[in-house]
Structure 1
Amino acid sequence: MISKVFSTTGALAKAIKGFQPRQPQTDMAMAVERAIKDSSQLVVEAGTGTGKTYAYLAPALLSGKKTIVSTGSKNLQEQLFHRDLPLMMNTLGFTGRVALLKGRSNYLCPERLGHQVVESHDGQADPTLLTQLIKVRSWSSETKTGDLGECDDLAEDSPIIPTITSTNDNCLGKECPSYKECFVVKARKKAMDADLVVVNHHLFLADLAIKETGFGELIPEAEVFIFDEAHQIPDIASQYFGQSLSSRQIQELAKDIHIAYRTELRDTKQLDKVADRLSHSASDLRIVLGEPGFRGNWREISTSPAVARELVRLADALTLAYDVIKLSLGRSQLLDAAFERTTLLKARLERLSDTTIPGYSYWYECSRHHFSLNITPLSVAEKFREQIQMQQGAWIFTSATLAVNDDFSHFSHRLGLEPAEQFTLPSPFDYETQAILCVPRFLPEPNSYGLADKLVDMLAPLIEQNNGRCFFLCTSHQMVRDLSEGFRERFDLPVLVQGEMSKQKLLAEFIELGNALLVATGAFWEGIDVRGQALSCVIIDKLPFTSPDDPLLKARIEDCRLQGGDPFSQVQIPDAVITLKQGVGRLIRDRSDHGALIICDNRLVSRQYGETFLRSLPPIPRTRDLAKVSEFLMAIDASENDASDERDEQ
């Protein structure tokens, strides 16, 4: 049945203009069908262009079983739900129900919006934020879903979003006066009744970890679980199977106590003082934790006198809040919910203060205004395996980057999987003619002094000759800053830099300009799809080994050593290989794409482990001569111009 869907005379060929059967796509669809039928585990690395989305959607829809599809991000989730899924449903004549379900922080909370509108009329509100609130209130009367992503007047990073959405901590549940209008409840009800639900990894794993009311009832009913971009799951699972406490949680608790005082309990002035003390305690701890953008060892820093002192003050503030709120229980639903959160945060801080319990990594992270304190289990394999055994059903994992040198053990061991089948499907792209890979001669050593300046001198002529159209992917924010500064001094081409505008805006501007260099890190290594000659060169500054100071990496190294393994070959190299494969995957996105890949790290050719990286990459012809890259890019342009002239003549 499935092989017929993907054949030359099948449903897809009739529905999609220009559809051509691809054996790898058919092979994957048949493997997914077998896994669903046998309720088994399947791991598939599907190279870019394989068509993996259709390959898992078709057998899932035809199976008649309740299915959950989890994707790597909200953007991919929406693309799958609004573009790929409707096409496949129409193609197969599927008449069942489907639903899109996001985390509660994506949905407007009518009750919290009402509180914010009342609060904003105290004469002290920021006029810009007040304008946004008014626009959201107007939109709230029209929306059917309450999904803030559909509110065009609201920026995705607007500071009002946390104040008009709920969290597990501050949701009033069935006690909420606006419960009947609750968009989260409506979305979850729709998901409960659907045959196929599209979620994202963060939501799925949060649910596994805490069995949140509503969504927690949904998962046991599913019989098929499909994870796209599955390479992200082990790290996300680590976050959710641990515990964390953030200054944002404390600030939001303080704000809700303040709102309860101003709107319902004006006779209890101590509530206002409690809210201020909580807020100040969180801010003071943030200050003593040091520089923003830093991840550090919580076990070590928590013993420093300054941090220990602020920890005691925060614990005292939470204890005072607990005692004061307790006196007013039953007088305000908002305050009753705040009491439960105070109890929870108080217990969490006590757990975080005891760093002697083995089997966990203890770490903290700072942004400009906030901090988070975290406990992460050294391994999630046991917990994830337990969940699979509890749920039973078919568990299918796919991504373009799961294997290291055709070996899946790194991925499977991290999640405790025992797949009945695991295999790699080759990409349909002709890398032999579509691309060239260069590790230039005379490269400076990684991490050497003045590395960015040397790379600018070496690569600026090539980028200029190519008229921009280049991604420079970096392994650190510092390298992004140094390179962008150097390139801006060097030439007149537009240099776009991650962090100077939103990711979506940056990408749109890169495509619109047509001659830009984009210098970026983390977020641009994966999930970016620029087709055609708008992007014909990808440069990577060095092999993407995670910083040895990263506390999560340290935890996994410790776990590997405890089991008698070799952390460098079993943890650090596989992680770096998978990240490099993601970065390389930005270059060729289509059968008509051509481009050059330049990796500025001698270790690829000078160290024995370099061969592991090279064997894990697509079969791209290699050179060490930048002049050959230059010739390749010029030849692409010449053939592109010839094709353009032919089209003009016709």
Structure 2
Amino acid sequence: MIKSFFAAKGALDKAIPGFQARQPQIDMAQAVDDAICNKTQLVVEAGTGTGKTFAYLVPALARGKKTIISTGSKNLQEQLFHRDLPLMMRSLGFTGRVSLLKGRSNYLCLDRLSRQMTESHGVHADPTLLSQLIKVRSWSSATKSGDLGECDSVAEDSPVIPMITSTNDNCLGRDCPSFDDCFVVRARRKAMESDVVVVNHHLFLADLAIKETGFGELIPEAEVFIFDEAHQMPDIASQYFGQSLSSRQLQELAKDVEIAYRTEAKDMRQLQKTADRLTQAAFDLRIVLGEPGFRGNWRDAMKAPAVQRELTRLNDALDLTYDVLKLALGRSQLLDAAFERATLLKARLNRLCDTSIPGYSYWFECTPRHFTLHITPLSVAEKFREQMALQKGAWIFTSATLAVDDDFSHFSHRLGLEPKQQFSLESPFDYQQQALLCVPRFLPEPNSFGTADSLVEMLTPLIEANNGRCFFLCTSHQMVRDLAEGFRAKLDLPVLVQGETTKQKLLAEYLERGNALLVATGAFWEGIDVRGQALSCVIIDKLPFTAPDDPLLKARIEDCRLRGGDPFSQVQVPDAVITLKQGVGRLIRDKQDKGVLVICDNRLVTRPYGAVFLRSLPQIPRTRDISRVGQFLSEVNGVDTPVTDDH
């Protein structure tokens, strides 16, 4: 039955101009259909270009069962909901109801907007903030969804957004005066009534974690669960099956206490005092925890006298907040909700300070303004397996990067999966003709002094000869900064750098300029789709092993040892292979694309484990001669100026 949709003159052929079914796509669609009919688990690695989205949408829509589709990011969620899903619905004549459900921090909270409007007219008003609030209020009267992603007048990183959205902590629930018009409630109600609901992994796993505590659910029961970009699931699951406390939560509590004092309980001066004290205590602890971007071991950090001192002050500030709010109980809904949050945050801080309970990693991370304390379980396999057992149905996991050397166990074991079927589908791209992989000779040792300078010197001629059109993907923010400085001094081409503006703006500028070098890390290794010759060179600074002092990695290494395994080959190498495959996947996005991949790490060819990386990558012709790269690019670009190997 499923094959017929993909056949010549079938439903997709009739509805999509130029549609050509590929055998791997049909094989995947058939496997997804079998999993749906038999309520089994399926794991499929589908290489770039295999058309995995259609391969799971067709059987999901054709079988008409209640389906949850979870994606790796909000961008992919939007693309699936607004582009791919409507196209498939039209092709198959599907008339069921579909909905898009995001986390509550994406929806405008009408109550918090009205409180902020009142607050912003006070003595301490910020005119910029007020003008943004007025724009949002104007938009709020016209929007049907309340999704702030649709509000063009407010930037996605605007400081106003956390003020006008709710969190699990500060939502007033049924006590809210705006409950009947609440956009989150409406979106969830719509999801409950829909046949297909598109969510993202963060929301799905937050929901599983809430279900585990026995509270209400955000995501409806379903018969089919499909996870796209599934390689991200184990790490995200670890976050949600643990606990965390952030300075942002403490400061938002303080802010609400302050708003309640100014608008509803002006006779209680101690509300203002306790809010100030809590804000200051959170800020002081952030200062003693260290540099922004730092991840550290919380168990070790707590031993430092300065951290102990600020923790005591924070505990005292929370106790005071609790006591003052207890006196104000019954004065207003906002104060009653704040009391409940203070109770919850007090308990959470106590749990985070008891680092003696085994089976967890205790760690913290800092941004320039905030800190977050985390407890993460060493393994989520058992908890995830329990949740799958509760919701009997088909569980389908797919991504372009799941296998390591054709082995899926690294992924499956982390989530406790027991798939009836797991297989890889080859990408339809002709890597032999379309790409070239170079590990240049005379590379500096990874992490050695002056690595960035050496790479700038070695690769400038190559980037110039290609007229930019290049991504330089780095494994650390420090390398991004060092390379950016070096290339800006050497190149006449535009050098765009992650962190200097938002990801979307950076990508738009890269495409607009047409001759830029983009130096980036993390977010640019995956989920970026630049087709054609706008991107014909991807350079990677080194094999993307996670920093050995990363507390989450340490926890998983510890867990692996406890089970009698070899952490390097079972944890560190597989993680790095998956990440490298994601980075490599940026290069060839289409049958017409051509380009070179340069990996600046000798270990790929000198260490035994390098072979595991190479076997896990597409079959790309390899060279160590950088002049060959120049010749390849010259042919691609139709230019006669090869790059010479100066070394």
* TM class by smaller structure: over 0.9
- Deviation per CA, 1:100-136, whole angstroms, max 9, x where unpaired? 0000000000000000000000132221111100000
Query: 1:513–1:212: structure 2 CA closer, same or farther, 3 Å change rule?
Result: farther
How far apart in 2 are the matches of 1:126 and 1:352? Answer: 36
Residue correspondence of structure 1 range 215-226 to structure 2 within 5 A? 216-217=216-217, 219=219, 221-226=221-226
Residue in 2 that maps onto 1:632: 632
Residue in 1 that maps onto 2:432: 432
How far apart in 2 are the matches of 1:216 and 1:199? Answer: 17
- Give me the TM-score of the superposition, normalised by structure 1: 0.97
Structure 2 residue 137 is matched with structure 1 residue 159: no
- Conservation of the 8 A alpha-carbon contact between 2:210 and 2:217: no
Residue in 2 that maps onto 1:87: 87
How far apart in 1 are the matches of 2:57 and 2:253? Answer: 42
Residue correspondence of structure 1 range 2-151 to structure 2 within 5 A? 2-151=2-151
- Conservation of the 8 A alpha-carbon contact between 1:471 and 1:537: yes
How far apart in 2 are the matches of 1:149 and 1:390? Answer: 34
Matched positions, count: 641
Residue correspondence of structure 1 range 135-534 to structure 2 within 5 A? 135-211=135-211, 216-217=216-217, 219=219, 221-534=221-534
Residue in 2 that maps onto 1:620: 620
How far apart in 1 are the matches of 2:361 and 2:216? Answer: 27
Query: 1:212–1:411: structure 2 CA closer, same or farther, 3 Å change rule?
Result: closer
- Conservation of the 8 A alpha-carbon contact between 1:594 and 1:636: yes
How far apart in 2 are the matches of 1:303 and 1:486? Answer: 40
- Conservation of the 8 A alpha-carbon contact between 1:284 and 1:310: yes
How far apart in 1 are the matches of 2:8 and 2:471? Answer: 37
Q: Secondary structure at the match of 1:221?
A: coil
- Conservation of the 8 A alpha-carbon contact between 2:191 and 2:220: no
- Deviation per CA, 1:125-150, whole angstroms, max 9, x where unpaired? 22111110000000000000000000
Residue correspondence of structure 1 range 540-559 to structure 2 within 5 A? 540-559=540-559
Question: 1:216 offset after TM fit, Å?
Answer: 4.6
Q: Secondary structure at the match of 2:638?
A: helix
How far apart in 2 are the matches of 1:476 and 1:583? Answer: 14
How far apart in 2 are the matches of 1:65 and 1:262? Answer: 51
How far apart in 1 are the matches of 2:219 and 2:185? Answer: 16
* 2:409 partner amino acid: S
- Deviation per CA, 1:469-523, whole angstroms, max 9, x where unpaired? 0000000001001111111100100000000111001001111101000000000
* 2:297 partner amino acid: N
Identical counterparts, % of pairs:
78
How far apart in 1 are the matches of 2:612 and 2:15? Answer: 41
How far apart in 1 are the matches of 2:414 and 2:213? Answer: 28
- Deviation per CA, 1:218-242, whole angstroms, max 9, x where unpaired? 6462000000000000000000000
Structure 1, unaligned stretches of length 5 or more? 641-650
- Deviation per CA, 1:533-587, whole angstroms, max 9, x where unpaired? 0000000000000000100000000000000000000000000000000000000
- Give me the TM-score of the superposition, normalised by structure 2: 0.98
How far apart in 1 are the matches of 2:21 and 2:371? Answer: 51
- Conservation of the 8 A alpha-carbon contact between 2:207 and 2:218: no
How far apart in 1 are the matches of 2:308 and 2:344? Answer: 21
- Conservation of the 8 A alpha-carbon contact between 2:192 and 2:220: no
Question: 1:36 offset after TM fit, Å?
Answer: 0.3
- Conservation of the 8 A alpha-carbon contact between 2:207 and 2:217: no
Q: Secondary structure at the match of 1:375?
A: strand
How far apart in 2 are the matches of 1:186 and 1:212? Answer: 24
* 2:70 partner amino acid: S
- Conservation of the 8 A alpha-carbon contact between 1:246 and 1:372: yes
- Deviation per CA, 1:300-344, whole angstroms, max 9, x where unpaired? 011111101111111111111111111111110000000110000
How far apart in 2 are the matches of 1:40 and 1:519? Answer: 43
How far apart in 1 are the matches of 2:154 and 2:479? Answer: 32
How far apart in 2 are the matches of 1:48 and 1:617? Answer: 12
Question: 1:268 offset after TM fit, Å?
Answer: 1.1
How far apart in 1 are the matches of 2:105 and 2:220? Answer: 23
How far apart in 1 are the matches of 2:21 and 2:526? Answer: 27
- Range with greater deviation from structure 2 (417-426 or 13-22): 13-22
How far apart in 2 are the matches of 1:534 and 1:218? Answer: 41
Structure 2 residue 538 is matched with structure 1 residue 538: yes
Question: 1:9 offset after TM fit, Å?
Answer: 1.7
- Conservation of the 8 A alpha-carbon contact between 1:107 and 1:147: yes
- Deviation per CA, 1:434-470, whole angstroms, max 9, x where unpaired? 0000001111110111000000111100100000000
* 2:292 partner amino acid: P
Q: Secondary structure at the match of 1:471?
A: strand
Q: Secondary structure at the match of 2:206?
A: helix
Query: 1:220–1:193: structure 2 CA closer, same or farther, 3 Å change rule?
Result: closer
- Deviation per CA, 1:43-74, whole angstroms, max 9, x where unpaired? 00000000000100110011121000000000
- Conservation of the 8 A alpha-carbon contact between 1:378 and 1:555: yes
RMSD over aligned Cα, in angstroms? 1.4
- Conservation of the 8 A alpha-carbon contact between 1:208 and 1:216: no
Residue in 1 that maps onto 2:643: none
Runs (4+) of structure 1 exceeding 3 A deviation are 212-220
